[in-house]
Structures are given as structure tokens and as C-alpha cells.
Amino acid sequence: MTEKKAGSGIKVGIVGGTGYTGVELLRLLAQHPDCELAAITSRKEAGMAVAEMFPNLRGHVDLKFSEPSASGLDQCDLVFFATPNGVAMQEARALVDAGVRIIDLAADFRIRDVALWEQWYKMKHACPELVAEAVYALPEINRDEIRKARVVANPGCYPTAVQLGFLPLIEAGCVDLAHLIADAKSGVSGAGRKAETHILHAEAADNFKAYGVAGHRHHPEISQGLARAAGKAVNLVFVPHLTPMIRGIHATLYARLTREVDLQALYEKRYADEAFVDVMPAGSHPDTRSVRGANHCRIAVHRPQGGDTVVVLSVIDNLVKGAAGQAVQNMNLMFGFAENTGLNQVALLP
């Protein structure tokens, strides 16, 4: 497959453009100088103008939603799947065979162990052969693999914040891998654009709760990534929480030091060349609004009372660096564009 040259432009399709990650993709791609939005599919909304559903895109996206069968996705250079789990695996094979490259924002290709994936996602995998080929695309760890990939598994939102927070410690081999703790909180948009009781305003507002303590589907994904960095298995306790905000993930991470290390220098060196990871000054406490609408992860590292416990604070926008923004970052790598193309939005305040 011949890669596009930077500046030559590519045709892009989106499957499932009616959810929160779909509209976030549209917002970012509409501002991307090297992308032509060719198709946005939705069986339910076929024929409706995108801007009718999402008025923020008026004057930026002129397409209508189309039926997948009539969308011409096989004529695109790249197709994003902004769909529920289990959809991309049904359609990926035909598109890959047609020479189309794929970025799946759901979980169909994230977990290498297909049996483990089936255990957590409660369905039979439709194309395990593509799981073996797919690249788990966290750019900060495997750019070279992403550049060559035909099938990209875009990381989940919790896994992005947690892995970026833990990676310097694990790569340096300075913490106890048997006792890693991730205490993470997400805004309600992480649950998707659907009607469910627990994310109704009257249920989620003025409220705060943990969920999935016994087991969450992002746990095997995070553990897989950390084990890859460590070169061996890790033991992770992961507890997610729902917070009464729309966007944002805040991960508070705990690990026990096994040797002395300059933590601030370790993090600054590891992410010195990363455009989308900001290691904040010592003593900082990053907040979620500092990344709202932007493709950034902001990190601060602490050592309370000078003890042997490291506390890492990692924040992202779950819809941007945790989903659509990271997908565009991966697209840029795949097609030889500058990695920050279309991703220079400044976070929104207040």
C-alpha cells in the first residue's frame, strides 16, 4: 500500500458519526488541512444533514448521514469506526481487503488475547486474524508500528490516562509491579450518547460514585499495556468513578518505589519530545478543565512526605486525547502528516 505524501490529502469516512466520539471526530477533521470528509454513516439518521443534528458544525460539514451500503467507504483512504464495541470487527475485513486503512475507536482490536476479549466483551470475535495484525496505537510508545499499520486499535480513555501516567516508572524499573493502583474518575460523556438511567442529569448531577470495582473492561487493556512496558506481568487494581461533569478523566495513580530516583527528572526526560504530554512543575495539581477540548495529557508526579509511595496525577479530555484526538494523531502518523496537524486547539476555560 502506498502512503500518501504530506500535503496531498486523503479521503476519510466515519462509521457511526452520531455519538460523542463521532461528532468530536467531525469537529477535528473539519479543521484538518489534509482531510476530505467523504462519508459519515448512520442507518437510523440516513438522509439527515450532519449540521441538523450537530449545529456546531454548520458551515464546516456539509455532508448528510448515509446508509453504510451506499456510502462508498471502500473508496476512502481511511475509515474511522466511532461505533459501539462489536461493530468494527464485522466490517473491517472487507475494507482492509479493498485497501482501506482502519482506526477503530472502540475495543474490537485492543486486546491481543482473543479469548480474554471474548470473556470481557461477552461476544464471539468476528475476525481474530485482524486482532493479530492490529496495532495498539498509543503514539507515545509505538509510533513506528502505527505508521505502517493497516488496522489501528485506538486506546480507551481510562487506559490512555493510566498508561501515560505509569509508563515512566515502569520503563525505569523503579516501582513494585505487584502493587499498582489506579483510582480514576470520568465525566458522563464517557458512557456514550445514549439514554440510560445512571447518566440522566437527575442521577449523575450532584453525585459521585465508584463502579466496576469487581472488574471493568478497561482493566485487561491497561494491564496488557503496562506488562508490555515492563516486559512481564503486572498486578493492577483499577477502580473507575463517575463524576458530575461532561468531559474529562482524572487518574490518581499509586506505586511503591523500589529504589531512589529523581521522579521529576524522570518524567520530564521521558516526555520531553512529546507534543501532547505536558509534565507540569513539581508540586502541581493538574485539573481536567486544563485539557478540555484539547489533545493533551497533563501529568504531575508527587512523593508525599518523602516516603516510598509515588502519586501520579494524570488528566485528559476523554473525548479528545482519550478518543477522537488520539485517533487523528494516529491518522497523522499513518499518512505521514505532521503529528500535530489539526490538533493545536487550546483547552477551553472556564
H-assigned helices in 210-253: 218-230
Long-range Cβ contacts of 332-336 (<8 Å, 24+ apart): 333/139, 333/143, 333/146, 333/147, 334/3, 334/78, 334/101, 334/103, 334/146, 334/147, 334/149, 334/152, 335/3, 335/4, 335/6, 335/10, 335/34, 335/77, 335/78, 336/3, 336/4, 336/5, 336/6, 336/147
Task: Report the candidate in 322, 183, 309, 175 with the shortest Cα–Cα distance to residue 247.
Answer: 322
Under 8 Å between Cβ of 157 and 249: yes
- Max Cα-Cα span within the chain: 62
DSSP state of 87: S
Q: Which three cell numbers stand for residue 170?
A: 515502569
How are beta strands 209-210 and 236-242 bridged, if at all?
A: antiparallel
Residue 120: which H helix or E strand, with range? helix 114-121
Q: Which three cell numbers stand for residue 75?
A: 473508496
Q: Which three cell numbers stand for residue 107?
A: 475495543
Q: Name the catalytic one among 35, 157, 174, 297.
A: 157
The β-bridge partners of 78 are: 12, 101
The verdict on whether 157 is a catalytic residue reads: yes
Q: What share of the chain is helix, strand, coil (3-state, %, to 5)?
A: 35, 20, 45
Catalytically active residues are 157
